[in-house]
Amino acid sequence: MFRYYLKLGFLSIRANPLLSTLMVAAIAIGIGACMTIVTVRHVMSGNPIEHKNDVLYHVQVDNWNPDDAYQDPDLPPEQMTYMDARALHDAGRAFRQTTSFMSARVIQPEGEDARPFQQESRATTADFFPMFDVPFLYGAGWDRSADETEERVIVIGRELNEKLFGGEDSVGRTLRLNDETYRVTGVMDTWNPVPKFYDLNNNPYDEPAQLFFPFSVAVAGSFDNTGNTSCWKPVEEGAGREGFLASECIWIQMWVELQSPDEKQAYMSFLDAYVEEQKLLGRFPRPLNNRLNNPAEWMEDRDVVDDDVNVLLGMAVLFLVVCLLNTIGLLLAKATRRARDTSLRRALGASRAELFRQHIIEAGMIGVAGGLLGIAMTWLGLRGIENVFIEYDFIEHLVRMDWSMVMLAVVLAILSALCAALYPTWRTCNITPATQLRLQ
């Protein structure tokens, strides 16, 4: 029977090409609008480090102003002071730990006419690379010992390696940054977590830096922090760089890797003990407020999805509703037009259930067609979004459809078509046999 109904559905769709096209188009446009925004939102709220979500934790301690929470309601600062970052890192209580900040260096390529250029970079520690599963094309990150000895080593990105070394294996080669010589220990493969979970402060959708060097080297060399610095308490006057490092200004991000809930528990106790100890020294005037957030919690906390996207999502869902109302109207029109057929079938003995099945299958077919066309519409919609945001380099990462989105588009289209078909089909099934035949 199913195949017979498929055939009937196909014939019926072909018999009313205009109505059928309108229905498919209405569903496709509604699905297209909805899925465009859903796709962007899906990518924006994605978790690029999901496979390590239960072992990675962002560390926060609350060293802020006793009279003024860093952010209401009583949230601790999102970054850390140098004193705390250094102490917690050097304590080494986690399986892995890393502290980092955004910086910039001027690269001086070899050769007389090569012009020096500025490179966005990140000061971090050895554990950064294994913790975040950074892929390497050549070599690897530096050893923990390089952090301790302030060795001038760097990891560069694939693109930068193309630019400087023509894409060769450059491990062991040297590079001049601000008149100092550094040795390459590794070349990263393409690595582009979206959002850039490990540092959500500036633009969470920007690409990662192409240049990494040890945190200790950057601090010793007074490299500028190009990310955010916030202070609630003035830095001691005349104390210079030392004074800044000893201040309550926050500018460093810290992550730890803890392999089990027990380890997490232990680390939390360690943090509490650390803060209590600092309180005795007159620091940390606020109540104990330490946080360990996994990447998913941290991104949720920091609201990485823009409000505008949520507004658009609401609009898109309503848009789909309008398209469905349209489809219901068209289906009703079609059902009325076929009332005589239906009446005849009922008179010849088809049960209501059979009629229902027949019409629902037909609606499902329209849904599939609408879904497939809807995928094309979504693609168009995403190109539109890309075009509107063309000034942002990172937009290309947000407008990609993956298979889960394609599947969702089809499923949503079929469900929409079935929902739209319910009322018209119910009306059809209630047609009394023979009444429609009287006119004949």
Partner 1 sequence: MELGPIWRAMLQHKGGFLLIALQIAVTMAIMVNAVAIIQERSVKMARPSGIDEANTFSLLSIGFKPDLDERSLIEEDLDLLRKVPGVANAVATNSFPLRQGGWSESLHREPGVGKSVSSSAIYFVDEHGLDTFALNLIDGKNFSPEEVSWDSDTTDPWPATVVITQALGEHLFPDHEGSYVGKTFYFNDDNPANVIGVVERLQAPWANWSGVERSMLVPLSRESDFVRYVVRTEPGRRDELMSEIEELLSQSSKDRIIRSVDTVEKARQRSYLGDAAMIKILTFVVSLLTVITGLGIVGLASFSVARRTRQIGIRRALGATRMGIIRYFMIENFIVSSIGVVTGGILAVALNIVMVQAFSLSPMSWYVIPAAMVILWVVGQIAVAGPAQRASNISPAIATRSV
User: What residue ranges bind partner 1 (CB under 8 A)?
Assistant: 19, 22, 26, 29, 33, 65, 67-68, 104-106, 108, 115-118, 178-180, 224, 231-241, 243-244, 306-308, 310-312, 314-316, 318-319, 321-323, 325-326, 328-330, 332-333, 336-337, 384-385, 388-389, 391-392, 423, 427, 439
Locus of tokens 């060293």: 63
Minimum distance between the CB of residue 104 and partner 1, rounded to whole angstroms?
8
- Residue number, 172 or 243, with CB nearest to partner 1: 243
- Residue number, 22 or 360, with CB nearest to partner 1: 22
Minimum distance between the CB of residue 239 and partner 1, rounded to whole angstroms?
6
Q: Is the peptide bond before 195 cis (omega within 30 degrees of 0)?
A: yes
- Residue number, 232 or 270, with CB nearest to partner 1: 232
- Residue number, 139 or 329, with CB nearest to partner 1: 329
Residue 122 tokens, joined: 């990140």
Given CA atoms 303, 305, 306, 310 in this order, what sign does their dihedral have? negative
- Residue number, 7 or 233, with CB nearest to partner 1: 233
The C-alpha angle 69, 222, 77, rounded to 5 degrees, equals 15
Determine the Cα–Cα distance for residues 340 and 332; give it in Å rounded to an integer: 14
* H or E element in which residue 335 lies: helix 307-337
- Residue number, 113 or 262, with CB nearest to partner 1: 113
Minimum distance between the CB of residue 245 and partner 1, rounded to whole angstroms?
11
Minimum distance between the CB of residue 248 and partner 1, rounded to whole angstroms?
10
Given CA atoms 178, 183, 184, 185 in this order, what sign does their dihedral have? negative
The distance of Cα 345 from the centroid of its chain, to the nearest Å, equals 53
Minimum distance between the CB of residue 54 and partner 1, rounded to whole angstroms?
31
Greatest pairwise CA separation for the chain in angstroms: 103
Is the CB of residue 412 less than 8 Å from the CB of residue 319? no
Residue 346 tokens, joined: 């009922």
Across the strands, what pairs with 252? 80
Q: Angle, to 10 degrees, between the axis of helix 339-347 and the axis of helix 307-337? A: 60
- Residue number, 3 or 438, with CB nearest to partner 1: 438
- Residue number, 144 or 233, with CB nearest to partner 1: 233
- Residue number, 239 or 411, with CB nearest to partner 1: 239
Minimum distance between the CB of residue 152 and partner 1, rounded to whole angstroms?
13
Minimum distance between the CB of residue 215 and partner 1, rounded to whole angstroms?
20
Minimum distance between the CB of residue 229 and partner 1, rounded to whole angstroms?
9
Cα–Cα distances in Å, from 190 out to 103, 175, 193, 208?
20, 21, 10, 10
Is the CB of residue 100 less than 8 Å from the CB of residue 125? yes
Cα–Cα distances in Å, from 328 out to 18, 264, 368, 424?
15, 54, 16, 7
- Residue number, 118 or 432, with CB nearest to partner 1: 118
Q: Could you give the count of Cα atoms lying within 13 Å of 315 in the half-sphere of its Cβ? A: 9
Minimum distance between the CB of residue 409 and partner 1, rounded to whole angstroms?
18
Minimum distance between the CB of residue 311 and partner 1, rounded to whole angstroms?
6
Amino acid present at 249: C
Determine the Cα–Cα distance for residues 285 and 61; give it in Å rounded to an integer: 12
Pairing of strands 153-156, 211-214: antiparallel
